[in-house]
């Protein structure tokens, strides 16, 4: 990972900005704001597929996907600490926090009660009050299942890609995130394929990223202008896969500029931002809505403030609080 760590960090830094943007509005949309939802639809066509691609790439680079059977128990425990512990811990905090705060401020998607909220978080997951952290659960399931299916033999990957594609096109129920496991496993596996390809993949992205980026931008523009009723399944498969060489190649070709430094900085804190951006956005939004409406032209200012809160709030929490608590610091690195 040493040689390629910087470009993966930079890619995570770019991707996490799209994640935060997609969380600015939850269930209650501002009135007379026609630009946000088309932009969010375009962002959702590629940003989480890109994150799963990076996760699959890292899983290969770290050696996790080809772990021998004698080490499976260790990897299972390590992945549970890394992914499930934050998922359940933060999910519980979100449920309790929404129940406590809904009496004093506006809260998006509040749970019906404590037990109902926890049940929705782990079972009726389409209604989860902590839906923003679904990636942690899905990544745990997909990475462990892929490790077991490969069983130390990367030659099995082609048929596993076939399984992932079948799961993608077959509708699955929204129980225990089965729909999201099926909807995103293919992108993790494509990232694993890129990881196994190694330098061949990097050479390909270096050659193709410019036309790929041009096509990606054209596709996203078309989604914004005309894609309101386009079917999500084929659009996300095409646009999501296109984003891999386009964005990864672009970031690898990016010169040493302040923009690259920003992406690297955010990439180092991407896990922390992913975990806590909705909490900071929600608190900031609830406080602002007590004094100002966010409808119409006001939403421009709201969007800027909420973006800053969702990005910088988790970074400040990490540096000022979690860095002083070794267990939390390790968990959120």
Longest C-alpha distance within the chain, in Å?
59
Please tell me which residue, 260 or 109, carries the higher pLDDT value.
260
pLDDT at position 320, please? 96
Q: What is the mean pLDDT of residues 276-291?
A: 92
Q: Is the pLDDT at 3 greater than 70, yes or no? A: no
Q: What is the mean pLDDT of residues 27-42?
A: 88
Return the exposure string of 92-104: e unless at least 16 CB atoms fall within 10 Å of the residue's CB, then b.
eebbebbbeeeee
pLDDT over 90, % of the chain = 87
Q: Is the pLDDT at 2 greater than 60, yes or no? A: no
Q: Is the pLDDT at 149 greater than 80, yes or no? A: yes
Q: Is the pLDDT at 4 greater than 60, yes or no? A: no
N-to-C CA span, the chain: 16
Q: What is the mean pLDDT of residues 296-320?
A: 96
Q: What is the mean pLDDT of residues 99-103?
A: 84
Domain residue spans of the chain: 5-331
Return the exposure string of 128-167: e unless at least 16 CB atoms fall within 10 Å of the residue's CB, then b.
bbbbbbbbbbbbbbbbbebbebbeeeeeebeebbeebeeb
DSSP one-letter code for 84: I
Instruction: Return the C-alpha torsion angle 126, 129, 134, 138, nearest 10.
Output: -60
- What the block records as the tokens of 130 is 């902590």
pLDDT at position 162, please? 97
Q: What is the mean pLDDT of residues 286-301?
A: 91
pLDDT at position 27, please? 66
pLDDT tens per residue, range 219-234: 999 999 999 999 999 9
Q: Is the pLDDT at 111 greater than 80, yes or no? A: yes
Q: Is the pLDDT at 303 greater than 70, yes or no? A: yes
pLDDT at position 1, please? 43
Residue 102, classed as helix, strand or coil, is coil
Q: Is the pLDDT at 56 greater than 70, yes or no? A: yes
Q: What is the mean pLDDT of residues 83-88?
A: 96
The mean pLDDT value of the chain amounts to 94
- What the block records as the tokens of 224 is 């914004």
pLDDT over 70, % of the chain = 98
pTM of the model: 0.95
Residue 172, classed as helix, strand or coil, is coil
């Amino acid at each position: 990972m040493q040689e390629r760590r910087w470009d993966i960090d930079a890619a995570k830094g770019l991707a996490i900005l799209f994640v935060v943007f997609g969380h600015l509005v939850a269930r209650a949309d501002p009135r007379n704001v026609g630009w946000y939802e088309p932009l969010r639809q375009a962002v959702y066509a590629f940003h989480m597929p890109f994150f799963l691609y990076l996760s699959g790439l890292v899983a290969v680079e770290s050696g996790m996907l080809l772990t021998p059977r004698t080490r499976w128990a260790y990897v299972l425990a390590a992945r549970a600490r890394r992914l499930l512990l934050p998922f359940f811990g933060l999910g519980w905090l979100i449920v309790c926090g929404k129940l406590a705060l809904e009496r004093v401020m506006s809260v998006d998607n509040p749970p019906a009660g404590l037990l109902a909220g926890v049940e929705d978080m782990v079972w009726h997951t389409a209604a989860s009050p902590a839906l923003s952290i679904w990636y942690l659960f899905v990544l745990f399931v997909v990475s462990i299942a892929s490790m077991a299916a490969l069983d130390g033999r990367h030659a099995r990957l082609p048929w596993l890609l076939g399984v992932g594609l079948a799961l993608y096109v077959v509708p699955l129920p929204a129980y225990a995130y089965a729909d999201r496991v099926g909807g995103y496993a293919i992108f993790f596996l494509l990232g694993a394929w890129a990881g196994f390809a190694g330098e061949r993949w990097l050479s390909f992205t270096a050659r193709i990223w410019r036309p790929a980026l041009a096509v990606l931008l054209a596709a996203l523009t078309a989604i914004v202008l005309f894609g309101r009723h386009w079917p999500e399944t084929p659009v996300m498969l095409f646009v999501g896969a296109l984003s891999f060489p386009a964005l990864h190649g672009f970031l690898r070709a990016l010169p040493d500029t302040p923009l690259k430094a920003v992406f690297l900085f955010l990439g180092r804190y991407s896990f922390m931002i992913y975990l806590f951006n909705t909490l900071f956005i929600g608190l900031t939004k609830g406080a602002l809505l007590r004094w100002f409406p966010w409808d119409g032209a006001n939403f421009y200012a709201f969007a800027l403030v909420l973006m800053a809160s969702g990005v910088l709030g988790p970074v400040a929490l990490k540096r000022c609080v979690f860095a002083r608590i070794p267990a939390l610091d390790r968990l959120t690195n």
